[in-house]
Amino acid sequence: MISEKNIELLQFDKIKQLVKQKCCGKHAKLMCDNISIKKHISQIQKELQQTNEIKLVIAANGFFPSIDHEDISEELTILNLDGSLLHETQLLKFLKTVEVINTLIRFLKSKKTAMPHLHEVVDTINVCEIVVAEINRIIDVEAQVKSNASGELNRIRKQITEKRRESDKRFYNHINDLRKLGYLRDNEEGFFNGRRTLAVLVEYKAEISGFVHSKSESGKTIFIEPGVTIAINNEVAELEIDEQREINKILRELCALIKPYIPEIKSGFKTLSFIDFLMAKALFAVELNANLPELKEGYDLNIISAFHPLLFLQNKKSGRQTVPLTLQLNSENRVLVISGPNAGGKSIALKTIGLLQMMLQGGLLIPVKENSNYCFFENILIDIGDTQSIENELSTYSAKLKSMTSILNEVNESTLVLMDEFGSGTDPELGGAIAEAVLESIESSKTKAVITSHFSNVKLLAEKLEGTFNGCMLFDIEHLEPKYILSIGEPGSSYTFEVAERVGFPKHIIERAKQKVDKDKLKLNRLLSEVQSQKTKLDEQLQKLEHEEFLKKIAKEKYHTLFDNWQDKITRERDRKIELAKLADYGQKYLRLMDDWNIKGDRKLVIKRFIDGITAETKKQEELRRLKKLDTYSEKKIARIKPNLKVGTKVKILSGTEVGVIEEIKNEKVFIKFGLMKMTVGMENLVLAE
């Protein structure tokens, strides 16, 4: 069980909020709020694969239907009631969401091979075409009931149109008469309660018959509905009541027709919300360059090029690079002790390991290389940062001891332990002894753990203790600044005096401090610093050698390309000579036939020989052309694409749309992975995806 305190400490809730921001609907957002950390791979593996299928499509700029929709939960509840009625705007909203559901279902049903795990989500759900058709028959794009929805509605609306036209005619004729008499104000007309009125000067109100609707604030204008239009306006109002009654009848009938399909639409809407949730996770994964690592049973980790997601996003925004983290924990090397200078990245390394583990066990893709290996831990125990408790009157050391006690009581093979600066907060000698004992206890429990420490005795113990190994955060001794790179295999110096020098601490005090330090400890620290410096130089030399090897490889490939071009030229010249020889042979045969034609008496025999020869040669040439055309096409295609193919290259099959990744190349056969599916394809049948 992972405590809420540890979840909060590693800012997992912040990750959930970032995913939530990418959701369209409120149900998907609620799913983000309810993300929980699972203990076993089987509980979340399918959801991880579904998220990865969407992420692969987005990352390759492939097509995935829009899932932008409105919430129709309230409409579904209303429709489930007998005699229910949805108004036009509700039905239009309902229609648009059902269309999104139908499009999504059709798309995923057609992707059984390319997206097998997403296909499973919609396998048993049907498309509701009749609901879309019926709503479209009744409601237009402006959320109005169509006049042809019923004969009665059409008749009523025609009458309303005619009556309004007649009312307008009478009204404007009356305005013209009154305007000439000077009874009206500049703003001649207005509307009150849906009735058209005249703006009459108050002194002339007795001259105009009609119904008074209102009076201006100044009292100088009175608004009168003229008597010439009252009767016809009353008829229009009555017809409008009939119109609304007919509309309500039509809408009730439509809702009754939709009602039997509510269970299917509910399932579709639930699926849409789930895909919305998966899409949000996939979009977040693309933003992070996150992947689905290989998931394995047991409790081994092989983390390759991991990034802290929040730090990565922060650096990405400011245009800075994030240094990746690589480490491995297995049955032989279970406990890693990281040493190095303060502010060198030790705590960030711990938080990266812990947060990525939580994300993966919560169903999120993580920013690591695809070939990383991950397992699921039943518990993640964390002690990072200053745990001083004012409320409980605990000192930093007391709080540390309490936290370590809690961890030691729960450690086992299925647990991941992350501890920062364990044993600190008290007398260094005594704290170091406590740290040694804790390290031995953790190692003997067979748990996987990453621990940071400055204690020299802990670094030495990590070298001796079976199952425990050292690592350090690299430090640039020349520029006196951390590199934030985790190096596995040897302990690191704390660079206490170097860091003090860097921040401008008085040199004479540093020298006095050096004199007070145990000479053996100072010597050890200096040796660790020198070892680390030498290792850094060796790494730089190795990188230089690797770069030179790369340049050699490029030169070799260039040589082979030039050699192949030269061979092609030689082959073309040879083919040209063979063609000339053939032409010479044809010429000799032609001359012999001419001689026979002129000498022999039986010319029919000569003609027969000529025709037989031409027929045989034609068949021979056709067969050669057919074979040469096939061979030449395949050879040229392979020669053109082969230099660009390597493990990790993204490719497509000819006439296909799915993007796969090359896993292995043997001769002219390529082994490709499409999601979870693998295929063997000849090079001549491939095109590059980029």
Per-residue model confidence as pLDDT tens digits over 36-81? 999 999 999 999 999 999 999 999 999 999 999 999 999 999 998 8
Each residue of 327-337: pLDDT tens digit?
999 989 999 99
Q: What's the pLDDT band for 188 if we cut at 50, 70, 90?
A: low
197-202, Cβ contacts within 8 angstroms, sequence gap of 24 or more: 197/223, 197/224, 197/225, 198/174, 198/223, 198/224, 198/225, 198/226, 199/223, 200/224
Paired sense of beta strands 184-192 and 195-201, if any: antiparallel
CB–CB of 224/213 below 8 Å?
yes
The confidence score (pLDDT) of residue 612 equals: 75
- DSSP of 3-36, one letter per residue? -HHHHHHTTHHHHHHHHHTT-SSHHHHHHHHT--
Identical fold, 4-147+256-288 and 294-516: no
Residue 501 pLDDT greater than 90, yes or no: no
CB–CB of 413/397 below 8 Å?
no
Task: Pick the closest to residue 119 from 106, 130, 131, 129 (CA basis).
Answer: 106
Stated as kind and residue range, the H or E segment containing 223 is strand 221-226
HSE value, Cβ hemisphere, 13 Å, CA-based, for 200: 27
Read off the pLDDT of each residue in 363-377 and give the average, rounded to a whole number: 95
The one-character DSSP state at 293 is: P
Read off the pLDDT of each residue in 615-644 and give the average, rounded to a whole number: 72
Q: Tokens 């540093």 sit at which residue?
A: 510
Q: What's the pLDDT band for 389 if we cut at 50, 70, 90?
A: very low
Q: What's the pLDDT band for 428 if we cut at 50, 70, 90?
A: low
Q: Which three-class secondary structure state does DSSP give residue 488?
A: strand
Q: Quick one: tokens of 61? A: 């700029």
The confidence score (pLDDT) of residue 429 equals: 65
Q: What's the pLDDT band for 358 if we cut at 50, 70, 90?
A: very high
Q: Quick one: tokens of 479? A: 């520029």
The confidence score (pLDDT) of residue 672 equals: 86
**Domain locations along the chain:** 4-147+256-288, 152-245, 294-516, 546-644, 650-688
Q: Tokens 């490939």 sit at which residue?
A: 557
Each residue of 12-42: pLDDT tens digit?
999 999 999 999 999 999 999 999 999 999 9
CATH assignment of 4-147+256-288, among 3.90.190.10, 2.40.110.10, 1.10.1420.10, 3.40.50.720: 1.10.1420.10
The confidence score (pLDDT) of residue 218 equals: 78
Architecture of domain 294-516: 3-Layer(aba) Sandwich (3.40)
Lowest-confidence range among 107-111, 321-325, 452-456, 652-656? 652-656
The confidence score (pLDDT) of residue 192 equals: 76
Each residue of 79-116: pLDDT tens digit?
988 888 999 999 999 999 999 999 999 999 999 999 99
Sign of torsion over alpha carbons 133, 134, 135, 136 = positive
